[in-house]
Amino acid sequence: MDINSSNQGPRIRPQDLVNAKDIECTECKHTFFTPVVMIKVVSAIMSPNGKEVHVPIQTFACNKCGNVNKDFTPEIS
């Protein structure tokens, strides 16, 4: 891996991906995904400005069946 001199961390080169593991859809085992956005609503009581807020969260859905792997959704604790 190349080390980037900025604060962005190490850069991954295309040849580093040759042995990288493909992620599969947990439902159909397909390996292609499309970026999608899920939207969370934060109530006015919890919002820092006292108004209801819609928060977009980018994730990925399977190109074949539309499933969103559990690992792709944020853990809320």
Q: Quick check: is 67 in a domain?
A: yes
Q: Quick check: is 33 in a domain?
A: yes
Q: Quick check: is 10 in a domain?
A: no
Q: Quick check: is 2 in a domain?
A: no
Token pair in block for residue 20: 């990288």
Q: Quick check: is 51 in a domain?
A: yes
Contact (CB, 8 A) for 33 and 56: no
Q: Quick check: is 9 in a domain?
A: no
Give the tens place of pLDDT for each residue, 2-25: 444 456 778 888 888 888 899 999
Say what the pTM is: 0.69
Q: Quick check: is 7 in a domain?
A: no
Structural domain of residue 63, as residue ranges? 21-77
Q: What is the mean pLDDT of residues 35-61?
A: 94
Q: Quick check: is 4 in a domain?
A: no
Q: How confident is the model at residue 76 (pLDDT cuts 50, 70, 90)?
A: low
Rounded-to-integer distance, Cα 42 and Cα 5, Å: 38
Rounded-to-integer distance, Cα 76 and Cα 70, Å: 12
At residue 16, the pLDDT reads: 82
As a whole-number percent, the residues of the chain with pLDDT over 70 amount to 88
Q: What total number of domains does the chain contain? A: 1
Of residues 37, 42, 69, the one with CA closest to residue 53: 42
